[in-house]
């Protein structure tokens, strides 16, 4: 099958501080003349993208991830022909619909109706094709009452809804969507993600740039990881999102000294020295994804010889305990020998925590007495993920944890009459 997109050796270079416009203003010309050549600084250049190559097949839903400034939006602007590449080649075998900024391609003086017709014409669609989709676009955007109002009078939400509806419903073979969806409310984002899923099932190709890793994993069958303008990976969303989060987690936040920690109450011995966090892949990390594991390592020394026991209490953002892991309860992990220094590692596997920020209280001592206590010793972040592979993420408004429950539905043997029917 011929790819619908073929990109080879794509690079984009920008001059720092330079304007892309060809013409200068009178003021700029005068200032340049008066300043003379002595004040001119050597031109500085930066590569926003460097030697990017990939192919996309019809029906691919490709998530593009990477930190701010990595080159994600530049890639989409080049694919949509808004920006010209410095070097390289792009072959597009289909019409391109894009939503890169709120209202991209809209004329503010034209009405919603006129902008829909204009965008369809730009895509090369006949008027009859546009009109066939018109009612669906207006209904999705929820702008029925304002369709004949100039879009400059729309609220940002109306503008965004109409812009997305135009890009999604007009029959382009390639749909490019940037992080612009993040400015919409939760119900709108859910609606847009559902529409993009429908678009992909119809065989159209979708490029989706987002910092919402759960949305990328739930929607996309493939992922591109861009780092400093170059491809750092091309593969399954789960694999690349895990790699991206591991690369972005700040190691300094994953380890904390405890000797001078303000969370130690007065009168307690300073025995715990450091606490550190590691992801299930073994890397230092202060952020994990929902459903993944976390290891907590506590180093201790300087105490009289004792048999170490530890309680680790995980609390939510409001300081409410969610659960406690304890060697005092799980006696198979108690140490029979006495010691005055060492390291205790607690492995929390498959954590069912919903997304949010959590903190850890540490209690170290013997079986019945705490020698050292540190409250809020360290914190970590849980990032949203599609843990049930359903395209949806459990909501934090519904609790603190998610649970892989099992359900059984037993239909009634006889149809039950409705209340209205029984009253009749």
Query: Which pLDDT belongs to residue 62?
Result: 92
| % of the chain exceeding 70 in pLDDT | 86
Please check whether residue 306 is in contact with residue 346, taking contact to mean a CB–CB distance below 8 angstroms.
Answer: no
| Most confident segment among 198-207, 339-348, 363-372 | 339-348
Average pLDDT over residues 41-50: 81
Model confidence at 119, in pLDDT bands (50, 70, 90)?
confident
pLDDT digits (tens, 9 = 90+) for 360-417: 999 998 877 889 999 999 999 898 888 888 777 887 777 889 888 888 889 888 766 6
Average pLDDT over residues 203-219: 82
Model confidence at 8: pLDDT above 80: yes
User: Among the listed ranges 109-118, 196-205, 261-270, which one has the minimum average pLDDT value?
Assistant: 196-205
Q: By C-alpha distance, which of 44, 45, 64 is closest to 56?
A: 64
Distance between CA atoms of residues 53 and 119, nearest Å: 29
Domains 5-248 and 251-385+394-398 agree in fold = no
Strands 321-326 and 174-177: unpaired
| Most confident segment among 134-148, 157-171, 173-187, 235-249 | 134-148
Distance between CA atoms of residues 63 and 50, nearest Å: 19
Please check whether residue 288 is in contact with residue 244, taking contact to mean a CB–CB distance below 8 angstroms.
Answer: no
Tell me the C-alpha to C-alpha distance, in Å, between residue 102 and each of 74, 182, 338, 378, 419.
16, 11, 65, 39, 48
Q: Does the predicted TM-score (pTM) go above 0.85?
A: no
Partnered with residue 278 across adjacent β-strands are 284, 295
pLDDT digits (tens, 9 = 90+) for 250-289: 555 889 999 999 889 887 889 999 999 998 888 888 888 8
Model confidence at 12, in pLDDT bands (50, 70, 90)?
very high
Query: Which pLDDT belongs to residue 130?
Result: 86
Query: Which pLDDT belongs to residue 96?
Result: 85
Question: What residue ranges do the domains of the chain occupy?
Answer: 5-248, 251-385+394-398
Which three-class secondary structure state does DSSP give residue 211?
coil
Q: Is the dihedral of CA 169, 170, 176, 179 positive or negative?
A: negative
Query: Which pLDDT belongs to residue 273?
Result: 95
The pLDDT mean for the chain works out to 83
Model confidence at 419: pLDDT above 80: no
Domain 5-248 coded CATH 3.40.50.300: yes
Please tell me which residue, 420 or 83, carries the higher pLDDT value: 83
Can you say whether residue 361 is alpha, beta or left, with left for phi > 0 and alpha for psi between -120 and 50 degrees? beta
Q: By C-alpha distance, which of 49, 122, 39, 33 is closest to 86?
A: 49
Which three-class secondary structure state does DSSP give residue 295?
strand
CATH of domain 251-385+394-398: 2.70.50.60
The full length of the chain comes to: 424
Strands 174-177 and 96-99: parallel
Helix (H) or strand (E) holding 257: strand 255-257
User: Among the listed ranges 26-40, 112-126, 131-145, 195-209, which one has the minimum average pLDDT value?
Assistant: 26-40
Please check whether residue 79 is in contact with residue 54, taking contact to mean a CB–CB distance below 8 angstroms.
Answer: no
Query: Which pLDDT belongs to residue 295?
Result: 95
- Maximum distance among all alpha carbons in the chain? 95
User: Among the listed ranges 121-125, 345-349, 350-354, which one has the minimum average pLDDT value?
Assistant: 121-125
Partnered with residue 360 across adjacent β-strands are 314, 378
């Amino acid at each position: 099958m011929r790819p619908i997109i073929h990109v080879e050796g794509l690079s984009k270079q920008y001059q720092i501080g330079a304007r892309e416009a060809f013409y200068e203003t009178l003021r700029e010309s005068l200032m340049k003349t008066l300043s003379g050549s002595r004040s001119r600084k050597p031109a500085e250049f930066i590569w926003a993208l460097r030697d990017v190559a990939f192919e996309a097949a019809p029906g691919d839903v490709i998530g593009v991830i990477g930190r701010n400034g990595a080159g994600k939006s530049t890639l989409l602007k080049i694919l949509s022909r808004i920006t010209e590449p410095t070097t390289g080649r792009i072959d597009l075998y289909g019409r391109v619909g894009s939503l890169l900024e709120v209202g991209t391609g809209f004329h503010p003086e034209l009405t919603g109706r006129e902008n829909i017709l204009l965008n369809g014409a730009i895509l090369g669609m006949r008027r009859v094709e546009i009109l066939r989709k018109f009612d669906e676009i207006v209904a999705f955007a929820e702008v029925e009452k304002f369709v004949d109002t100039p879009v400059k009078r729309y609220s940002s939400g109306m503008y965004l809804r109409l812009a997305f509806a135009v890009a999604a419903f007009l029959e382009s073979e390639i749909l490019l969507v940037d992080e612009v969806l993040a400015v919409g409310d939760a119900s709108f984002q859910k609606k847009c993600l559902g529409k993009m899923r429908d678009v992909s099932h119809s065989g159209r190709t979708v490029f989706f740039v987002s910092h919402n890793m759960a949305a990328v994993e739930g929607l996309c069958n493939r992922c591109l990881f861009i780092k400093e303008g170059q491809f750092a990976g091309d593969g399954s969303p789960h694999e690349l999102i895990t790699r991206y989060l591991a690369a972005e987690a700040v190691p300094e936040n994953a380890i904390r000294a405890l000797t001078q920690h303000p969370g130690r109450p007065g009168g307690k011995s300073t025995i715990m020295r450091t606490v550190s966090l590691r992801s299930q892949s073994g890397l230092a990390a202060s952020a994990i994804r929902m459903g993944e594991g976390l290891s907590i390592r506590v180093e201790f020394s300087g105490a009289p010889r004792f048999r170490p026991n530890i309680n680790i209490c995980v609390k939510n953002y409001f300081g409410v305990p969610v659960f406690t892991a304890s060697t005092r309860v799980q006696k198979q992990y108690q140490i029979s020998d006495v010691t005055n220094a060492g390291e205790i590692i607690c492995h929390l596997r498959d954590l069912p925590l919903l997304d949010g920020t959590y903190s850890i209280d540490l209690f170290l001592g013997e079986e019945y007495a705490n020698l050292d206590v540190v409250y809020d010793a360290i914190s970590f972040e849980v990032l949203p993920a599609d843990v049930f592979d359903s395209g949806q993420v459990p909501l934090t408004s519904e609790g603190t944890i998610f649970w892989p429950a099992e359900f059984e539905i037993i239909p009634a043997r006889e149809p039950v009459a409705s209340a209205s029917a029984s009253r009749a």
